[in-house]
Chains A and B, each alone.
Chain A
Amino acid sequence: MITEQIKSIKDLPLEENMFSGTPACAGCGGLLTLRHCLKMLGEKVVIVNAAGCFTLLSIYPFTPFRSSWLYTAMACAPAGAQGVRDALDILLEKGKIDPDENLKVVVLTGDGSAYDMGLSSTSGAIYRNLDFYYICYDNEAYGNTGFQESGSTPFASRTKTTSAGKEFAKKDLFEIWNSHKPPYLATISPAYPVDLANKFKKAEQYKGPKLFISLIPCPPGWSTDPSHTFKLAKLAVDTGVWALKESISGEVEHTVVPKKFKPVEDYLKEQGRFSHLFKPVRNEETLGKIQEMVNEYWKRYGILL
């Protein structure tokens, strides 16, 4: 099956499956990602949510979604998705629901759960080839509790539990997932909605786990201006920090490669969480190391910055 590519932002669906007025922070990059994802997923959806910022999207008696929602807990949203998917399949087999009333099962989680506590249940769901979508909005820290270090926090980033800057590099969740060889796996960015939309269109063709990680700016955690969210998300891609790619059954391909990479510093200097690298004195060594880590990544794919 070949789906028609979305060529420009004007071709994105106009329908909104998530309404405005949520309690998310101003300029939340995750919300922007989710809005685009839900446009592509449609309204026949059950979102299974792990503990994180987005736990607070549905607050009784309100919900911003057109579709259904189930809050599980931090470690187990993929297991919740398993239960929902299996139950829907049982109901379909028994003829208790119509095939065109079938629902897509979507796990929604932040990086804290995805990279850390929820890794076991995610691995289990991918290994069982569960037919579901998994969206990780990755702001590179435990954002909902006030920005503490997670497995996703990048090297040298300051959080509330790494006040001098993080010692280790970020876990490579894409590669952890990719080693399970899921039918479809992609990184996405709210600054590249056309790329995002096409990835969802492509993923739709596959039965099994369809996984998406979105690097998302978090104004309160990153100490950035809420109006800069889009700019930062774009800088992350344009500096090569966030590689937009997809993997089909384990084969990785980049979908957006900047013609000319901007220096990583352009991205870092905008953010309070890296301000200690610039003030009171420039930390050349660390800045150089971060640039080197990005260079190393692209070099592996034969792309020289």
Chain B
Amino acid sequence: MKKEMLTGNTAAAWGARLAEVDYIPAFPITPQTEIIETLSDWISEGDMRTRFVTLDSEHSMITAAGAASATGVRVFTATSSQGLMYGFEMLYTVAGWRVPLVMINVARGLSSPITLGPDHNDILAARDTGFLQIHCENCQEVLDSVLMAYRVAEDEKVLLPALVNLDGFYLSFTREPVEVPDIDSVRRFLPSYEPSHAFFRADQPMAQGVAVLGGAYYSYFKYQMHLASQQALGVYKEACREFEKEFGRKYDTIEQYRLDDAEYVLVMINSFSTLGKAAVNRAREQGIKAGLLRPRLLRPFPEEDIRNALKGKKRVAVVDQNISVGKGGILFSELASCLYNEKHRPLLMSFIGGLGGKNISHEEFAFIFDQLIKGEEAEVETPHLLYTQHEWEEMQKLKEIAGRV
């Protein structure tokens, strides 16, 4: 095991390298490019024995990835934002093929307006496709999650593709010390892929992705995918235990930060959770019993673990880094549906922040805790967009320049 300074992107590339993937179909998009460039370099320098091919679009890339996986090799690919959208049709298709490829999404806001900063509308749009979803806070977690994603996706009880998400810029280009495991321990944790289900062989012809005529058959296969995804919860937990045994790092479906005695809880995902944790520390210094819950796994959704973690909590603020236009925060809806049948459920408040990479300041977190403490007396609209006076004024200046005031 060695420690290296890696960006989130190179940590993702290391994950693929250590998983000894057979095949990488690629298409570039900012801020994902560093992943495929790194892998391409390693392959051309002989550090990886992997077939690398550049496709004509993400739609083709995801198709090639799925088709190769269906033929029986271990496949890795990566995309971002509009790229994920462009290949979106094929997310459903390859998930239906029940093939265990792993794809990175480097989260980035969606057009329009076009931007490069991150939010989670891209990845969360894919939550219903059948892909498993692991969300990462730091670079170490990115590398580790790629290994875990294969472990879970390739399990015979699961056989679904997986998306590993990291935030563009905030994590993709953040350099952190990352423990790069040695190949022998990775091989113990993740042996080479020997499919017993999906493959094309001359002596065993198979029709894959065939039409089903009739809702009853369609329902059957869709529900099988749902059950497989739910099975993935247990498989993932088992993978976490074995991962800890092999590498010493502990993961779970959720991360609980100062949550034991907390009364006021932030729910956040991905790299901005680090800001949330700092806010929890500051709130604690002021005597507020604050804590943070970070779901790591979003599909399957770890409902039971979330319910247990939030048992007895007074108030919960879901800080969504996404916006479902016409509804509000997507995670808020997920949390609300998860807690609805609880007898004693905490008050849930919805905040939307960090869209397109907009910073969430100390003051804004202080405002959130202030509102949580006020509880039902709080005077915010739901969902409440986190937006400072200063940002508002800056926006007015731009509008003046554009001549549309």
Chain A residues near B (Cβ < 8 Å): 43-44, 46, 48, 55-56, 58-60, 63, 65-73, 75-76, 78-84, 86-91, 96-97, 101-103, 120-121, 123-124, 128
Contacts and interface: CB of A to CB of B under 8 A. Distances in A.
A160 B64 CA distance: 34
A88 B51 CA distance: 11
Contact of B202 (A60, A84, A86, A103): A103
Interface residues of B, number: 41
Interface stretch (B109-117, B204-212, B306-314): B204-212
Contacts of A103: 200, 202
A253 B208 CA distance: 38
A68 B67 CA distance: 12
A48 to B, nearest CB: 7
7 contacts: A43-B202, A71-B208, A71-B210, A72-B93, A86-B25, A86-B51, A121-B56
Contact of A68 (B22, B93, B206): B206
A60 B201 contact: no
B60 A79 contact: yes
A27 to B, nearest CB: 22
A97 B71 CA distance: 11
A89 B51 contact: yes
Contacts of B90: 72-73, 76
A13 to B, nearest CB: 18
Contacts of A70: 67, 70, 97, 200, 207-209
B53 interface: yes
Contacts of B23: 83, 86-87, 90
Contacts of B25: 82-83, 86
A28 B99 CA distance: 34
B56 A87 contact: no
B210 A121 contact: no
B401 interface: no
Interface in B233-278: none
Nearest to A47: B207
Contacts of B208: 68-71
A63 B210 contact: yes
A272 to B, nearest CB: 28
Contacts of A69: 205-210
Contacts of B65: 83
Interface in B44-99: 51, 53, 55-57, 59-61, 63-73, 75, 89-90, 93, 97
Given A120-B57, A123-B56, A73 B63 contact: yes
Contact of A87 (B63, B67, B93, B209): B67
A58 B206 CA distance: 11
Interface string B92-132: 01000100000000000000000000000000000000000
B212 A59 contact: yes
B63 A72 contact: yes
Nearest to A58: B210
Contacts of B206: 68-69
**Which of B59, B64, B65 gathers the greatest number of chain A CB atoms within 10 Å?**
B64
Given A87-B73, A101-B202, A68 B207 contact: yes
A66 B205 contact: yes
A73 B22 contact: no
Contacts of A91: 71-73
Given A79-B64, A91-B71, A73 B89 contact: yes
A245 B309 CA distance: 70
B211 A128 contact: no
Q: Which 9 A-B pairs have CB atoms at the shortest separation, nearest pair first? A: A83-B67, A124-B56, A79-B60, A87-B71, A83-B64, A71-B209, A83-B68, A87-B68, A79-B63
A44 B201 CA distance: 8
A121 B67 contact: no
Given A67-B205, A88-B71, A91-B71, A80 B210 contact: no
Contacts of A88: 71, 200
Contacts of B89: 73, 75
Contacts of B211: 55-56, 58-60, 71
A101 B201 contact: yes
A54 to B, nearest CB: 10
B340 interface: no
B209 A72 contact: yes
